A and B are shown apart, each in its own frame.
Chain A
Amino acid sequence: MIAATDARARAGTSSWLSGIRPIYFLIAAWLVGVLGPYVWMFITSITPPGELATITIFPEHPTLDAFPSLLTKTPFFQYLLNSIEVAIGTVVLTVACALLAGTALSRYRFRGRSAVLAGVLFMQLFPSILLIVPLYVELKTIGLIDNKIGLILVDSAFAMAFSTWLIKGFVDQIPREIEEAAYVDGCSRWQAFRHVILPLSRPGITAAATYAFIYSWNEFLFALTFTFSNDTRTMPVGLSLFVGENLIRWEFLTAGGVLAAIPILIGFMYAQKGLIAGLSSGAVKG
């Protein structure tokens, strides 16, 4: 809209459409293609079941009924809580470990460093299918099958490599001089870490935390395979269970989808910049 009015003012033509640079039409088409399915999901979630077969663009009698019924008549609320627990656990564990490891890899030169770096990079490429079979056996052996802690450990392992790279990239950018000044002022190593590295790498920590959250929130395969009770199942598994039913309740599915998308939207929009910077600098290796 801003672009439209602006262009019209500049072009000074009577037809405002002709004043818009063609590139905006392409970008608008792209946005419609990307956002369309989300909008359609939202519209479906507020459509009464009786109208599903006939709606064209917007329901005649929009209703929010699907949301309370979804939360009270199905275990979906429990799935959401489980997802939140697993995601928070994964974020805390991943970020704590990745922060220490990323700082060590950025600040110390030692034998085995490049091997660790290459190894971390390499592990990002591990096929989950290769690990999903033995992990079941392993989790069963240590008693963490159908257990949220088990899921947190597995999710953390998979989010760890990228988070470590991300944080290493951010710590690399903190000038050594600042740290050295802290040493001169009598700081111990730990104090320098706490008062210099930690605050200055905050954007990196935010990006890593968002990444770990999104990874865990979205993770489907491990949750599907390693959990089987309503007390541990996460939201993606819960959503997929709706599909297995004979009669798919589209209003429930789409309402659940809307609820599932909200934390992602907020988190992603909030940390977008750091994440994109991390993806492309810390690096193309995401």
Chain B
Amino acid sequence: MRNTRRLSLPVHWIMLAPALVILVGFMIYPAINAVYLSFTSTNLLNLKAQTFIGLDNFARMVADPVFYAALVNSLWWTFGAVFFQLVFGMIGALLLNQRIKLRGLIRGLVLLPWATPSVLIALMWMWILDPNLGIANRLFEAIGLGAQPWLSDTTTALPTLIFIDVWFGIPFFAVMILAALQSVPYELVEAARIDGANAWNTFWRVVLPLILPAVMITTTLRLIWTANFFDLILILTNGGPANASLTVPLDAYQTAYRGMNFGLGAALAVAQAAVLAILVVFYMRQIRKSDIA
């Protein structure tokens, strides 16, 4: 009797089980574990010696000036990169939304960076920006602007990284906004034209309000993603020179794996996640409003 009951576990849960097992095992469980680790002193080389130390890691974090420097860099990195990605992505989407030939091919080509390994992006730009052999400085010298230090100077390192990330992220924005633009009914745009609105007014008054939900969702998503993304920084500057390009997640990574301080590293990561939770809540609300789930 019992067996037949147990066998009647609803089929949808059986179908969901494999995905849920992997998600719970390698995302939920480690996320909970991260919170636990942040209250402990944990050394990677001697895991058995783990001790519970309460809020000590967080106290150390807020007393460290490097943390604040990283926080400021993180804000510049995230908002700076996403702002330019949004502006240029919007322009790109408007371009691709015109009646042009080979649109499919062009859309595919400009989206290429999205599919390119971050390591490869880093290396391409490292080579272009190489102080001695790089093409960028040779071009700058040829047109009389002189060689730039790019990634090796405290004032230019972070802006250069932001530039590379903008280059990397424009295509994603452009394609997402293009999809939203294509759902705008043509009759509305036409009606605005007939009523005498010029292209600029049509965009601001008719098109933008219609695509705004999609733009908001994309931007929020990208903010979260960019705040967490540090592959480029890790490879290109490793946070330097003199912490000029150190962001909070990179600080967490270095603390855990260079400094071998897993507890403090986890505390930094938990702080990062807690701040981002605001954006996540905002994002989930946007999604709910746009009735996808």
Contact = CB atoms under 8 A, between A and B. Distances in A.
Majority SS of interface residues in chain A?
A: helix
Contact of B37 (A31, A134, A273): A134
A26 interface: yes
A80 interface: no
Given A34-B113, A218-B116, A250 B133 contact: yes
Contacts of B256: 132-133
A100 B15 contact: yes
Interface stretch (A9-17, A63-71, A175-183, A264-272): A264-272
B193 to A, nearest CB: 18
Contacts of A153: 22, 25-26
A119 to B, nearest CB: 8
B108 A280 contact: no
B224 interface: yes
Nearest to A258: B120
Given A125-B280, A133-B265, A134-B34, A285 B120 contact: no
Interface in A1-33: 2-3, 6, 23-24, 26-27, 30-31, 33
A122 interface: yes
Nearest to A155: B26
B19 A123 contact: no
Contact of B112 (A23, A93, A221, A268): A268
Contact of A239 (B123, B179, B217): B123
B262 interface: yes
Interface residues of A, number: 98
Contacts of A225: 257
Interface centre among A40, A132, A134, A189, by most B CB within 10 Å? A134
Contacts of A250: 127, 130, 133
B23 A123 contact: yes
A123 B30 CA distance: 12
B124 A257 contact: yes
A103 B273 contact: no
A98 interface: yes
Contacts of A31: 106, 109-110
A118 B287 CA distance: 10
A133 B266 contact: yes
Interface string B88-117: 000010011010111010111111110111
B16 interface: yes
A129 B253 contact: yes
Contacts of A280: 175-176, 178-180
Given A35-B109, A101-B15, A131-B27, A285 B221 contact: yes
Contacts of B179: 276, 279-281, 284
13 contacts: A34-B113, A40-B124, A100-B19, A130-B31, A130-B272, A158-B27, A161-B23, A189-B11, A240-B122, A243-B235, A257-B124, A268-B115, A276-B175
The 9 A-B residue pairs with the shortest CB-CB distance, nearest first, are A280-B179, A157-B26, A134-B33, A101-B19, A104-B15, A218-B117, A108-B12, A134-B30, A129-B249
Given A27-B106, A131-B31, A285-B221, 16 more contacts: A23-B100, A27-B95, A31-B106, A34-B113, A38-B124, A40-B128, A104-B16, A114-B293, A121-B293, A130-B269, A130-B273, A132-B269, A136-B262, A153-B22, A240-B122, A260-B120
Interface of A: 2-3, 6, 23-24, 26-27, 30-31, 33-35, 37-38, 40-41, 44, 52-53, 93, 96-98, 100-101, 103-105, 107-108, 110, 113-114, 116-123, 125-138, 140, 153-154, 156-158, 160-161, 164, 189, 214, 217-218, 220-221, 225, 235-237, 239-240, 243, 250, 253-254, 257, 260-261, 264-265, 267-269, 272-273, 276, 279-281, 283-286
Interface of B: 10-13, 15-16, 18-20, 22-23, 25-31, 33-34, 37, 42, 44, 47, 92, 95-96, 98, 100-102, 104, 106-113, 115-120, 122-128, 130, 132-133, 135, 167, 171, 175-176, 178-180, 214, 217-218, 221, 224, 227-228, 230-231, 234-235, 249, 252-253, 256-257, 262, 265-266, 269-270, 272-273, 276, 280, 283-284, 287, 292-293
